[in-house]
Structure 1
Amino acid sequence: MAEGRFVSYLRVSTKRQGDSGLGLEGQRKAVTDFLNGGAWSLVTEVVEVESGKRNDRPKLTEALRLCRLHNATLVIAKLDRLSRDAHFLLGLQRAGVCFVAADMPEANEMVVGIMAVVAQAERKMISSRTKVALAAAKERGVKLGGPTHHLPAQAGKAAAASASIRSGRAQSRADDLARDIAELRTEGAVSLRDLAAGLGQRGLTTPRGTAWTATAVRRVLTRIEAA
């Protein structure tokens, strides 16, 4: 059962999350549920909108300052969510402020110290793996750094093959329609609209299953004439 004074520290990674409350409400509820019951008071709630990769945390610094001023305990929602955040963990360890995590109330300074060491090592490994992956992608022909990644040679060939298949199907469809179009012309259909109406009257649709239009008929005629 919670007792004493508390300063709540909530953090989200993006401004959009901060503006929308996405992620904050869940953290706030976890803190509220933890403090439910007992003789406690919440000095204030501090919200940080900052990426976990950055080391400057002005709101965390402010929360720790308030804890020292009010002899309060820092309460956070989820310690496991911040387990990779070495700066946060080391900050807790060095601040000389009591803290509690709603999801792990038994955690103490020793646990946080171990987490901080693991977090630093993991961040270095993630960085190393990212560099290796980027180098491998570059060797495969992927061009990095632009607004889009160009397809490597293999993917380009696959895309060309797929386009060829689609083109072949469209040509086959045009060949199938050639006889009906010739018959409609014999029956007096002159314009593209006449041909579109005639195909519709025969119960025929475009390859996509939609009604014929003058533009769709023109595409078919282009293929027939090019064959």
Structure 2
Amino acid sequence: MQKFVSYLRVSTNRQGQSGLGLEAQRGAVRNYLACIPHEHIDELVEVESGSKSSRPVLAEALAQCRREKATLVIAKLDRLARNVAFISSMMETGVDFVAVDAPYANKLMLHILSAFAEHEREQISMRTKVALAAAKARGVELGNNGKVLARQNRLAAKNFAETMRTDIECCLDQSITTYTGVAERLNEQEISSRAGTAWSATMVSRVMKRLDIKFS
């Protein structure tokens, strides 16, 4: 029987004390484990920003996995990190881990997924900057009402929306039926909006409209 140690992470003390985000992660892990023969050895919870590379609770979870020859299970890949370097360092620990949102992906595929997401976000940012610089060089006045800038903004918004498709569809798969609910779930998962801010119901509505995704 396979052994598992679960790792949950939230970014603020307020979330940790209220359970905001933790119950969703715990439920995802519970549903995954319910489908396979397993022994759930322990659950470890960390309150720390995803941008921090120092994770004492994660280090403890990895040490426990090594002692017990267990697999680390997480609800979503971004509970570890949203950058390639951190995922690469996880691979070097020698501990097997599984992300519930990509349960059939091995460590190499998880690395590729994180690399693709990071690369795509960088490319969107770069294309927008290049387009704006080119417009400025042609003497175009850059402003919210400028036709060129508006066109570039629409293109950038469409490209960004595509990067959000999987996350939003995942929310709908969890029976979330309101824009506010989707926004709250994205914020719980520390997934930033295109502007780098927290999500609102209006932002979610716009992205879903661009993707032609509707509530069932």
Q: Structure 1: which amino acid aligns with 2:47?
A: V
CA contact (8 A) 2:16 2:22 kept: yes
Greater RCO, CA 8 A, separation 6+: 2
CA gap 1:82/1:67 in 2 versus in 1, 3 angstroms: closer
Match of 2:42 among 44, 50, 53: 44
- Letter matched to residue 93 of structure 1: M
Task: Please report how far the alpha carbon of residue 105 of structure 1 lies from its aligned counterpart in structure 2 after TM superposition.
Answer: 0.7
Q: Give the conservation status (yes or no) of the 8 Å contact 1:78–1:102.
A: yes
Query: 1:107 is paired with a residue of what secondary structure?
Result: coil
- Structure-2 change in CA distance of 1:14 and 1:45 (3 Å): same
Name the aligned partner's letter for residue 50 of structure 2.
G
Distance 1:97 1:67, change over 3 A: same
Match of 2:169 in 1: none
Contact 1:90 1:116 in 2 (8 A): no
Q: Does the aligned pair in 2 maintain the 1:9–1:46 contact within 8 Å?
A: yes
| Deviations 1:162-183 (CA, angstroms, capped at 9, x unpaired) | xxxxxxxxxxxxxxxxxxxxxx
- Which residue is 1:104 aligned to? 102
Aligned residue for 2:42, secondary structure, equals strand
Residues 137-156 of structure 1 correspond to what in structure 2 (within 5 A)? none
CA distance in 2, matches of 1:30, 1:64: 20
| Rounded Cα–Cα distance in structure 2 between residues aligned with 1:28 and 1:57 | 19
**Residue 112 of structure 1: CA displacement?**
2.3
Deviations 1:133-155 (A, max 9, x none): xxxxxxx9xxxxxxxxxxxxxxx
- Take 1:14 and 1:122, find their aligned partners in 2: how far apart are those partners? 27
Matches within 5 A, 1:68-217: 68-79=66-77, 84-118=82-116, 121=119
1:5 aligns with 2:10: no
Q: Which residue of 2 aligns with 1:25?
A: 23
Deviations 1:96-122 (Å, cap 9, x if unpaired)? 111111121111121122244346657
Q: Which residue of 1 aligns with 2:149?
A: none
**Contact kept? 1:4, 1:72, Cα under 8 Å:** yes
Whether 1:54 and 2:52 are equivalent positions in the alignment is yes
2:64 corresponds in structure 1 to 66
Partner SS for 1:114: helix
Question: How many angstroms does 1:18 deviate by?
Answer: 0.7
1:92 to partner: Cα distance: 2.2
Displacement after TM superposition at 1:88 (Å): 4.0
Aligned in 2, Cα 1:7/1:21: closer, same or farther, shift over 3 Å? same
Equivalence for 1:220: none
> Taking structure 1 as the reference length, what is the TM-score of the superposition?
0.49
**Structure 1 spans left out of the alignment, 5+ residues:** 130-139, 141-227
Pair 1:50–1:126, CA change in 2 (3 A): farther
Instruction: Read off the aligned partner of 1:35 and give its amino acid letter.
Output: L
Q: In 1, distance between residues paired with 2:30 and 2:2? A: 14
Change (3 A) 1:34 1:120: same
Q: Could you list the runs of 5+ residues in structure 2 that have no partner in the other structure?
A: 128-142, 144-216
Runs of 4+ in 1 over 3 A off after TM superposition: 80-83, 85-88, 115-129
Count of equivalent residues: 132
Offset of residue 85 of structure 1: 3.8
Percent of matched pairs sharing the same residue: 52
Letter in 1 for 2:101: D
**Cα shift readout 1:24-78 (whole Å, capped 9, x = no counterpart):** 0000000001111443111110111111111111111111111000000100111
